[in-house]
Amino acid sequence: MTTFLHISDTHFSGDPAYHPPWLRAGSPHPNIEAKNLLRAIKQLPYAVDFILHTGDVCAESLLADYHCARELLDDLPAPLILLPGNHDSGDLLAATLHDGEKWHVLRDAQLRLGELSIIALDTSGGGEHAPSLRPQQLNWLAAALDSCQDGRIIVAAHHPLLETGVPYLDEAMRVQNGAAAHAILARHSQRIAGVLHGHIHQPTISCADGISYISCPSTWNNHVAYPGMVANAHDPLCAPGYNLLMLRGSRLFARRCALPAG
Tell me which H or E stretch contains 108. Answer: none
Q: May I ask the CATH class of domain 2-14+25-258?
A: alpha beta
- Nearest 10 degrees: CA dihedral of 11, 14, 16, 18? -40
- Residue among 256, 238, 198 nearest 52 (CA): 198
Q: What pLDDT sits at residue 127?
A: 72
- Residue among 104, 98, 207 nearest 161 (CA): 207
Q: Which long-range contacts (CB under 8 A, 24 or more apart) does 174-183 make?
A: 174/130, 175/123, 175/130, 175/131, 175/132, 175/133, 176/130, 176/131, 176/132, 177/132, 177/133, 178/133, 180/133, 180/138, 181/121, 181/133, 181/138, 181/141, 182/208, 182/209, 182/211
pLDDT digits (tens, 9 = 90+) for 205-229: 999 999 999 999 999 989 999 899 9
Q: Lowest-confidence range among 24-28, 143-147, 177-181, 225-229?
A: 24-28
pLDDT tops 90 at residue 23? no
Binning pLDDT at 50, 70 and 90, where does residue 27 land?
A: confident
- Nearest 10 degrees: CA dihedral of 85, 90, 94, 98? 20
CB 239 within 8 A of CB 212: no
Residue 58 per-residue DSSP state: B
- Residue among 93, 210, 75, 96 nearest 158 (CA): 93
Give the Cα separation of 262 and 253 in Å (integer). 28
CB proximity list for 68: less than 8 A, separation 6 or greater: 12, 13, 14, 31, 58
pLDDT tops 90 at residue 138? yes
**What are residue 179's phi and psi, to 5 degrees?**
-60, -30
Binning pLDDT at 50, 70 and 90, where does residue 262 land?
A: low
Give the Cα separation of 8 and 201 in Å (integer). 8
pLDDT tops 70 at residue 40? yes
pTM score of the predicted model: 0.96
- Where exactly are the structural domains of the chain? 2-14+25-258
pLDDT tops 90 at residue 128? no
**What are residue 208's phi and psi, to 5 degrees?**
-145, 125
Bridge partners (DSSP) of residue 119 are 110, 155
Pairing between strand 50-53 and 2-7?
parallel
